[in-house]
Amino acid sequence: MNRDETTRSAEAGSGRGCWHIWRAPLDCGTPLNGLREPLSEDERGRLDRLRVPAVRRAAACSRFRLRTVLGEILDRAPASFRFKYGPDGKPCLAGEEVYFNLSHSSRWWVMIASFRDPVGIDIERVRPELDTDRLGRRLFGPEAGGGAWSGRAFFEWWVRWEALTKARGRGLWANRPGDPSAIMKAFHGPDAGGALWWCRTLAGSPGYALAVAGKSEGEVPDIVEHPFPEESAARDF
């Protein structure tokens, strides 16, 4: 799929624009040297500072997949992209009319892109061993306890919060809601600057929570899922 095809897809269906999503196994099986090849010197330096080999490989796979998708939708060589970073580390492309965000957790990688508005995405593996009720109270006070945020419910709330935070390009704690339950509703409302934001939970692989968020012009954006380039037959997410 090239940029023209993606744009036509975005313009179809009520003309409201789309959020485009890709999902794939995090590890693509490429040797580390091959993963590093299309990366910039800055990206390679970031990888080299990661001490744990598994963490370094996961980061390399994530950036490799990001460049692969951007190359497809913008019809450019993956190695040609140069990223800039916002105050909280969110990457963007200079001179390109595309907003994007990515996330990975354990075995899975996800990405979201929009040709119109800022977007965010987050995926987390649900970890039953964590005392999420206690964690919720520590983060948000007694109102987050009582079992309402235990188990999977906590992770579904967490990915929505993270996706919204990443869409807005702010630090994680800047968007902490006074009432934790508010974000679990079909979030749609103006921020302090009057912009409208949406946040949605998506179905994912068993054992994972997944959510997307972004700015909208007042209507629920259409979500279009695309197979990862050259791996459509292998995806089982």
Determine whether 52 is exposed, middle or buried from the number of CB atoms within 10 Å of its CB (0-12, 13-18, 19+). exposed
Identify the CATH assignment for 117-216 out of 3.90.470.20, 3.40.50.12280, 3.40.50.720, 3.10.450.50.
3.90.470.20
pLDDT in tens, 157-214: 889 889 988 998 866 555 555 555 555 454 555 555 556 788 888 987 889 999 999 9
Give strand pairing partners of 202.
210
Instruction: Compare 232 and 59 and report the one with higher pLDDT.
Output: 59
Domain locations in the chain as residue ranges: 1-115, 117-216
CA gap 117, 78 in Å, rounded: 23
The domain defined by 1-115 folds into Ribosomal Protein L22; Chain A (3.90.470)
Its pTM stands at 0.82
Helical (H) or strand (E) element with 5: helix 3-11
Per DSSP, helices labelled H in 23-182 are: 32-36, 41-48, 53-74, 132-140, 152-168
Q: What pLDDT does 30 receive?
A: 92
Q: What pLDDT does 86 receive?
A: 80
pLDDT in tens, 51-100: 999 999 999 999 999 999 999 999 999 999 999 888 777 888 977 889 99
Helical (H) or strand (E) element with 101: strand 99-105
Q: What pLDDT does 11 receive?
A: 43
- The residue behind tokens 């598994």 is 54
Same fold across 1-115 and 117-216: yes
Instruction: Compare 65 and 130 and report the one with higher pLDDT.
Output: 65
CA gap 234, 189 in Å, rounded: 38
Q: What pLDDT does 101 receive?
A: 96
pLDDT in tens, 102-116: 999 999 999 999 998
Helical (H) or strand (E) element with 11: helix 3-11
Instruction: With beta carbons less than 8 A apart as the criterion, state whether 231 and 24 touch.
Output: yes
pLDDT at 13 over 50: no
pLDDT in tens, 2-12: 444 544 444 44
Q: What pLDDT does 38 receive?
A: 95
Q: What pLDDT does 197 receive?
A: 82
CA dihedral (188, 9, 235, 53) positive or negative: negative
